[in-house]
Amino acid sequence: MRAVRPGGAVFVGDVRSVEMLPEFQTAVTLHRAGPLQTVEEIRSAVARRLQEERELCLSPAFFQQLATDLDGIAEVRLELKRGLADNELSLFRYDVTLLVGDRATPATPASRLSWDTLDDGLDGLRKRLTAGTGGLAVTGIPNRRLLRTAAAVRALEETDGTATAWDLERLLWDLDEEAGIHPEEMFDLAAAHGRPVRVLVPQDGRLSTFDVEFGSPVPAHDDAEDKA
């Protein structure tokens, strides 16, 4: 922080989320499990992996507290990883940008709403962006990247211990993999409406949902004006 001038930033990339560590270890354990391994054995393996975890994992709340404890942090941006590939980096890690400068009151989007109050899901959001001219923030958007992992965690918790990994897999057959929203869809939507956008880690630090902030539409650049 001392090495960065006001207006600059400190970027901390690929931060492992401590809130998502149980989901991560569950996903790894299920991937490695044999079809006849019992649920109780899988639960024990997950608990052991959590106990033996030695890599640094941080809650997004740590960085929010850092902004309170240290002078010179103007804003903390906690953002999901970009990309269409679903892997350990995109599912369980996030990026942090610490903007350096005098702390200012965060700008409040002109409108804020929860995803579960939005009619027609993505189509409803598209209509709002088309009709409105101000900023818009939406919270609690279900993250498609983690639907299967979240369902596997629930199944592991609720299934009888004598069931097998194969039984767990059968429970996931009917999962709608297209439910929820992929974070990259927000960038496509913003581009279609000429708006800046940030896809953010939610307040609770869990990446199974995400928040999004759309800025006001940016006027189209006219090349003819430059030539004139």
pTM, 2 dp: 0.87
Which pLDDT score is estimated for 222?
55
**Which of 9-13, 138-142, 178-182 comes out lowest in average pLDDT?**
178-182
Instruction: For 56-92, write each residue's pLDDT tens digit.
Output: 999 999 999 998 998 899 999 999 999 998 899 999 9
Closest to 165 (Cα-Cα) out of 38, 29, 20: 38
Instruction: For 37-52, write each residue's pLDDT tens digit.
Output: 999 999 999 999 999 9
Torsion of CA 37, 38, 43, 46, to 10 degrees: 0
Q: What are phi and psi of 143, to 5 degrees?
A: -90, 110
